[in-house]
A and B are shown apart, each in its own frame.
Chain A
Amino acid sequence: MWDRNEMAARAAKEIKNGMYVNLGIGIPTLVSNFIPNNIDITLQSENGMLGMGPFPTKQNVDPDLINAGKQTITELKKTSYFSSADSFAMIRGGHIDMAILGAMEVSEKGDLANWMIPGKLIKGMGGAMDLVSGVKRVIVIMDHTNKKGESKFLKECSLPLTGKSVVNSVITNLGMFEINKEGVRILEIAEGSTVDDIKKSTEAHIINL
Chain B
Amino acid sequence: MEKVFQSAEKAIRELIFDGMKIAAGGFGLCGIPEELIDALKVSGVKNLTIASNNAGVDDFGVGLLLQTKQVKKMVSSYVGENSEFMRQYLSGELELEFTPQGTLAERMRAGGAGIPGFYTKTGLGTVIAEGKEHKDFNGQTYILEEGFFADLSIVKAWKGDEEGNLIYRKTARNFNPVAAMCGKVCIAEVEELVPIGSLDPDNIHTPGIFVNRILVGKHEKRIENRTLSE
Contact = CB atoms under 8 A, between A and B. Distances in A.
Interface of A: 45-49, 54-58, 61-67, 69-73, 75, 81-85, 87-88, 91-92, 111, 122-130, 133-134, 160-165
B80 A55 contact: no
A92 B107 CA distance: 14
Contacts of B128: 125, 129
Given A129-B100, A130-B103, A162-B126, A124 B80 contact: yes
Given A72-B228, A124-B80, A125-B78, A45 B101 contact: no
A124 B102 contact: no
Nearest to B109: A85
Contacts of B186: none
Nearest to A82: B173
Contacts of B76: 124
Contacts of A58: 228
Contacts of B125: 111, 161, 163-165
Contacts of B67: none
Contacts, number: 172
Interface string B19-34: 0000000011111000
B229 A91 contact: no
Contacts of A162: 126
A8 to B, nearest CB: 16
Given A124-B78, A133-B121, A84 B174 contact: yes
Interface in B198-230: 205, 221-229
Interface stretch (B9-17, B38-46, B175-183): B175-183
A128 to B, nearest CB: 8
Given A85-B108, A88-B101, A88-B102, A48 B27 contact: yes
A48 B173 contact: yes
Contacts of A126: 77-78, 100-101
Given A83-B105, A133-B122, A122 B86 contact: yes
Nearest to A94: B121
Nearest to B219: A63
Given A124-B79, A125-B128, 8 more contacts: A56-B228, A63-B172, A64-B30, A70-B224, A88-B106, A129-B122, A130-B102, A163-B124
Contacts of B120: 92, 133
Contact of A72 (B31, B104, B177, B225): B225
B1 interface: no
Contact of B31 (A64, A69, A124): A64
B169 interface: yes
Contacts of B106: 85, 88, 92
Contacts of A84: 27, 53, 101-102, 104-105, 174-175, 178
Contacts of A165: 125
